[in-house]
Amino acid sequence: MPELPEVETIARGLATRLQGENIEAVWLGSKPEPLKSAAPEIAAALESKRIANVRRAGKHIVFDLVAAGEGEPRAQWIVHLGMTGRLLVCPPEAEVAKHTHAIVRLSSGRELRFIDPRRFGRLRVVNEFSIPGSEPLEIGQTDFAALFHGRRTPIKSALLNQKLLSGVGNIYADEALFRAGIRPRRRAASLTQSDLRRLRQALKRVLKQAIRLGGSTIASYVDADGQEGSFQLRHRVYGRGGEPCLVCKAVIRRVVVAGRSTHYCPKCQR
């Protein structure tokens, strides 16, 4: 599933290509799963609107829409990519890929297409969207530490809790914990203030580096141009179970935490 760096990369690419575009028409497929709002509601909210901005909020892509000739947003189109969702800007003559669930025709003649083979992605429209947790790249140290105070769950589980931090997923939780030297199964409440400072700094560093490298392409992720990311080449623990640690040569272990594959170094992380 695309995480914060992948969604940020896609949102930035779409903002560069689509900001100021007018939406002329919307086609929505017949599969019900991707539509969290009713198809007529989505079409009515998008058609004859201008895309004022495209941005990320947590793991969601937010299209701010305004009516022609107006400046204030009238609605927001919210896209969650799920596990295999993609948003691609295409010329109209490009072949329509299988599992295309939405086509947005733009005033420039191009099309924005939502493709999702597994149909875990979701499309909806709202008046004002807000994420349930804090933004990992913006939260200060005091607020970050407060998120984990008294929590007896493993720190890996807490990092994945979208009501605490919106956008952090499996890959970047593992990578941040490794860089902070913290084992994923440690209870969140047991972390010292020093541990939490290291963790926040490590999390911000790994997220920013991943954004610079276009995210991690593990399976099907591509950006708005159909290009893969390259941060997977910088993974230090994620997906490296049974391989030597790049720092100490100990064997990277794979365990399951909160139902998720979790990778760590038994020597570097305490």
User: Catalytic residues, which ones?
Assistant: 2-3, 59, 260
Residue 68: burial class (beta carbons within 10 Å; 0-12, 13-18, 19+): exposed
Query: How far is residue 111 CA from its own chain's centroid?
Result: 22
For 60-152, where are the E strands, in sequence order? 60-67, 75-80, 86-90, 100-106, 111-115, 122-126
How many CA atoms are closer than 13 Å to the CA of 105, on its beta-carbon side? 10
Closest residue by Cα to residue 270 from 248, 243, 242: 248
Q: Residue 236 CA to chain centroid, in angstroms?
A: 20
Amino acid at 229: G
